[in-house]
Structure formats: C-alpha cells, structure tokens
Amino acid sequence: MFKTSFKRTSVIVFCFGLLIAYMPEITSDIDKDNSKQKIGFFGPMKSFDTAQTTFEKLSNGGMRATIYHEAMKGVTVEHLRWWFENIDKMTTFNGVDFNGIEIPRYHLWHPHDHIEVYWKKKILDENGRVSAGSIMHIKETFGGNLVDESVLITRFDDQEYNFQLGMFGIKGGELIHAYEDSPEGVLFMTQLTISNDNPIFGNLITWLVTKFLVNEEILKAWMQHNIEESGESENFIPTLYNYYN
C-alpha cells in the first residue's frame, strides 16, 4: 500500500514538475491586431486567406493546425533545405544587393516576430547535411506570445523537416514541414500538433499543455505567423542560396 501511494505521489510531482519546466514565456492576451496584414522587408506579408487551413480538436484533448501555403514561386526543395540548415547565419542582403548592414538571416523571414535562432547540436550525415537528432533553439513571438525553447529534429530530408516540441525528452507536440517541387514552385505544408501519444501519461501531458501552455487562440495566432513567414520565402531564399553557394 505504501509503495502504491508513493508511486502515485511521484507521478503527480513529476507531472507538475514537467509543467513548470516546459512552460514557455507567454502572455495571456492575444494580439488583437494579429489578423491585420503586416509589412515585411519586401512589402506586405501574405494574409491568412492566401492559404488553405484547417483546425481540429483531437479525441485525446489535443489540437492540430494544418496549413497548405501558396506555391513558393522560384523556390525549390534544395533551396528550402539549405535555408533550414543555414537559418542561423548572418547576411548583408538588403532586398536589392548584398551591400547592406549585417543582420540575422532569420529576421528576413519575419522582421516583426523573429528574435533569435541557433543550433545547439548539429548532427551531419555522410553528405554533410543536417540530420535527425540535431537540436535547434528558437526564440520568437506570435500574437503577443513569446516562445523561447529548444526543439529536437526528428526528420530532415528532401520530403520533410520535422521537429518535436517538449522538455527532457517528453513530447508536448510536433511540427511537420512537408515540401515538394512543382512547376509553380515549392508546394509547402506545415502542420502543428499539440498532443502526447504516450499510452500511460499521454492524455495527462496533453491536458496540461493545452490547459496551461497552448490554447486554441495561441495555436491560431501561430497559424497567422506561419503563413506570414512562409510567404516571405520566395522573396529572398533563392537569392541567398545563389549568392552564398
């Protein structure tokens, strides 16, 4: 009986410890101007209605947001893979040439929301490409929410670039980037799922994350952010790829 009680207490302490450790810095209010079209480095950023979107609530209490973006004109899969691998570097590109001041490349993607990104751990395959097991740290805002956390890369190839959200190996969600070449440019799909599929603690972890960390409003604010940043890709990624290669 004592052992059973001790185990239950340990589980409760562990779960609340996880909640505190996992919690990103976020504000409670959603930016009321989030739906307004923003101006990026290259002019008006894409609006929400330029993409095909779905939002669903999962049977275990989790949530999933899926975005099919407009084709990225002039962008190839090779461009996009190179961008994700080198997203942490600097550039002097000013929108016209490379005679500007040095700025983080990450800021070109979204000057309003992006703060910092860097590789904490970089694992290369036999071809020198970044592969699964690498860890990236992301610091950005969307809809008034600040995200400052590390993500584990779970897949990185010519079809998908995916990473797991969480802490201490405990999964809180997953972000999938799927892409393929087409005559119009890269076809790009992003899907963010907030859920843990562990058969024992999965539902509890999912409840904690959706209750205290990522609610429906925050996930929809992320959708707006993702449409804006992805829409900027065609304006500079091919140019940077050609210049630095």
Q: What domain count does the chain have? A: 1
Strand partners, 146: 141
Quote the pTM value.
0.84
pLDDT tops 80 at residue 165: yes
> What CATH number is attached to the domain comprising 221?
3.30.530.20
- Return mean pLDDT, the chain: 87
- Domain housing 26: 2-244
Do the strands 135-142 and 114-121 form a parallel or antiparallel pair, or are they unpaired? antiparallel
The region that residue 96 occupies, defined by phi over 0 for left and psi between -120 and 50 for alpha, beta otherwise, is alpha
Beta-carbon-side half-sphere exposure of residue 12 (alpha carbons within 13 Å): 6
Residue 182 is classified by DSSP as -
pLDDT digits (tens, 9 = 90+) for 29-39: 333 444 578 99
pLDDT digits (tens, 9 = 90+) for 175-223: 999 999 999 999 999 999 999 999 999 999 999 999 988 999 999 999 9
Distance CA 173, CA 192 (A): 7
Residue 42 phi/psi, 5-degree rounding, is -115, 20
Distance CA 190, CA 176 (A): 6
